Amino acid sequence: MKLRYGAASPFARKCALASHVLGLADRLTLVDNTTDPGDAIRSRNPLNKIPMLLTDDGMAIFDSPVILEYLDHVAGGGKILPTEAKARFRALIQQALADGLMDAAILVMYEGRFREAHQHSPKWVAMQQGKVDKALQALEADLPGDEITVGTITIACALGYLDFRFNGEWRKSHAKLAAWQDGFRARVPGYDKTQPVA
């Protein structure tokens, strides 16, 4: 299997991290799409987004929630995507919340990095930052728990992205969540191996 990714993408990281958790890392080849002149994304994913997983039989799978479900399937099912309904939907909701957090954080970062200063929209940045803040408040109030699921993997990657791009400022006002993140890092295989790279 080949994972088309970007070294700084938290969405790609969650796929790589899931492969470690599931014992599939040795079956997954990472291909940095930002440095690949062939740019297979454009020809296989109409959305032209990373990550994208190319399976051994040539199927192109996107985006990250579907990739995690596929990896769980390859690993035998029910490993990071619970089968019991209550646990399953908790994990899926956690994943959706953390995906939204990452989307908003990326948009805040893009506004500052890729748009000229005279084009910046404080209102737009405030709206996106508000989503990040609300997501962090929700996670602080209802800590993710100790199970390793699609939800907790995604939350850990979202918080890792905030550490990476925003110097971990979120930690100052979310002590319980920061402790959870540090615990996840200490006990989950592959977390340090999948750190984002600028």
Residue-wise pLDDT tens digits, 7-23: 899 999 999 999 999 99
Instruction: Give me 28's structure tokens.
Output: 């997954």
Domain boundaries for CATH 3.40.30.10 within the chain: 2-74
Spatial separation of the C-alpha atoms in residues 40 and 44, rounded to whole Å: 6
Spatial separation of the C-alpha atoms in residues 41 and 51, rounded to whole Å: 9
- Taking alpha carbons only, the member of 65, 31, 58 closest to residue 44 is 58
Spatial separation of the C-alpha atoms in residues 154 and 157, rounded to whole Å: 5
- Taking alpha carbons only, the member of 151, 152, 150, 165 closest to residue 196 is 165
Spatial separation of the C-alpha atoms in residues 100 and 68, rounded to whole Å: 16
Q: Is the predicted pLDDT of residue 39 greater than 90, yes or no?
A: no
Q: Is the predicted pLDDT of residue 111 greater than 80, yes or no?
A: no
85-189: CATH topology: Glutathione S-transferase Yfyf (Class Pi); Chain A, domain 2 (1.20.1050)
Spatial separation of the C-alpha atoms in residues 19 and 157, rounded to whole Å: 13
Domain boundaries for CATH 1.20.1050.10 within the chain: 85-189
Label residue 25 exposed, middle or buried (CB < 10 Å: 0-12, 13-18, 19+). Answer: middle
Report the percent of the chain where pLDDT is more than 70: 89
The mean pLDDT value for 105-134 works out to 85
Dump pLDDT digits (tens) for 66-86. 999 999 999 999 999 999 999
The mean pLDDT value for 57-67 works out to 93
2-74: CATH topology: Glutaredoxin (3.40.30)
